[in-house]
Amino acid sequence: MKKNPQLKTLVPSATLALNQKAKMMQSQGMKVYNFTAGEPDFPTPKRICDAAKDAMDKGYTKYTPAAGISQLRQAIANKYTRECKRDHQASHVMVSNGGKQVLFNLFFSFLAPEDEVILFAPYWVSYKSLVEMCGGKAIVIDTQPEHYFVPSIDQIKSKISDRTRFIVVNSPCNPTGSVYPKSFLDDLSMLLKDHPNLICVSDDMYENFVFDPCSFDSLARNNRLNLDQLVIVNGVSKSFSMTGWRIGYAVANKEIIDMMTQVQSQSTSNASSISQWAALEAIEGSNPQEQLAMKNIFQKRRDLIYKKIKEIPSLSCLLPDGAFYLFVDFRKVLERVQGNNWSDIELAQYFLEEYQVAMVPGSAFGSPGFMRLSYGLSDEDIVNGVDRLHEGLKSLESLS
């Protein structure tokens, strides 16, 4: 059947594909060091599971308003009122089936054919596909490890055109773990003030994973941008280890929220009622100790995996300040095995098939030559998995 021309560039999510292959090998009894997961490896806290059970017992198992139950929308508005020190109301919030659907609703609602969305590469795998599925054009700005994967304001300025509708900012960043400095957020908000029709999408999905001595900051804070020019995308997937519950949300001005809600009402109606009640407990009953404990574990793992990777001479990487990923430079390795004409995708396949080490190739994030390693796995698996990787590299280098 002839497919929708807007889907001509659509590719399956590389992260999901590799993760699935790794899981299939595991189900066949193989020990796989799976560094592909985009999720914390902790169970969802018991208080949140109990709230879901309670919701079922109370019969909260029916359709909800398309934008979400009022209690959850209000709880999210309260969180942002508190954190951004300005008034937010429930009408500024809509709840979707994960942050992914929030972004889909947004781009589908507001992109006309050929409208442009600025992304910084390496970018989260789905941004580009979502923009293109909705008829828009992704304008990609390359960032480099030498600059901590932060673009310059001049680079951004040079990409803004009459067709630019959105600019997507994701800090802490998936896949690099970079946390954008305060000065960058200040300068970007100043630049955006000169372009009042341009909307900044602040994807704050990893807000809970910012390591000492840094702290979370965003374009929504410190009076940088108000809701005339800002759409905040967030959710409970990462912060509360709830990826399977599928709850994400947008905070934006009422016009944007109403349009996104209309789109959602004609596509999926509403996010799961039970998950919404669970998310309400996650956000309202939020316990700083619980979140701190999870962050501290990730910080220790980050230090561990960084130290292990630094011991491998052919690899290099930055010490990221956030999220739970290391974005490792494999370009020297690829240069050495160039006789094989391998891309980073073939290299990732080699490590998975021959050494049972699963990683996501950088080309999935618009930055070929790198690999993303998630450290959502135990210390023991991190140590043994990186040792396996080292072994695989040595044998590859001895062949080349």
To 5 degrees, how large is the angle CA 50–CA 52–CA 57? 90
- Compose the 37-76 pattern: x for residues touching ligand PLP by CB under 6 A, - for all others: -x--------------------------------------
The SS3 of residue 373 is: strand
What is the distance between the alpha carbons of residues 350 and 392, in angstroms, rounded to a whole number?
9
| CA 300, 302, 306, 309 torsion-angle sign | positive
CB of 296 to ligand PLP, least distance (A): 21
CB of 160 to ligand PLP, least distance (A): 22
Token pair recorded at residue 108? 């589908």
For residue 20, the surrounding DSSP H or E stretch is: helix 14-27
What is the distance between the alpha carbons of residues 392 and 357, in angstroms, rounded to a whole number?
9
Q: Scan residues 248-287 and list those touching ligand PLP (CB under 6 A).
A: 248
Which residue among 170, 202, 261, 272 contacts ligand PLP (CB under 6 A)?
170
- Looking at beta carbons only, is 122 or 248 nearer to ligand PLP? 248
CB of 269 to ligand PLP, least distance (A): 17
Which residue among 132, 203, 207, 344 contacts ligand PLP (CB under 6 A)?
203
The span of 78-86, 93-101, 128-136, 351-359 binding ligand PLP (CB under 6 A) equals: 93-101
Calculated CA dihedral for residues 260, 261, 266, 270, nearest 10 degrees: 120
- Looking at beta carbons only, is 16 or 383 nearer to ligand PLP? 16
CB of 107 to ligand PLP, least distance (A): 13
- Looking at beta carbons only, is 80 or 124 nearer to ligand PLP? 124
Laid out side by side, the sheet with 360-361 consists of 325-329, 370-374, 360-361
- Looking at beta carbons only, is 164 or 275 nearer to ligand PLP? 275
Q: How far is CA 291 from the centre of its chain?
A: 18
CB of 393 to ligand PLP, least distance (A): 27
What is the distance between the alpha carbons of residues 232 and 250, in angstroms, rounded to a whole number?
5
CB of 104 to ligand PLP, least distance (A): 10
Cβ atoms 72, 280 nearer than 8 A: yes
Query: Closest-CB residue for ligand PLP?
Result: 98
- Looking at beta carbons only, is 239 or 356 nearer to ligand PLP? 239
Nearest to 370 by CA among 389, 351, 348: 348
- Looking at beta carbons only, is 248 or 361 nearer to ligand PLP? 248
Q: Scan residues 211-250 and list those touching ligand PLP (CB under 6 A).
A: 235, 237, 243, 248
DSSP 65-96: -TT--HHHHHHHHHHHHHHHTS---GGGEEEE
The span of 80-88, 95-103, 253-261, 333-341 binding ligand PLP (CB under 6 A) equals: 95-103
Binding site for ligand PLP (CB under 6 A): 38, 98-100, 124, 170, 174, 203, 205, 235, 237, 243, 248
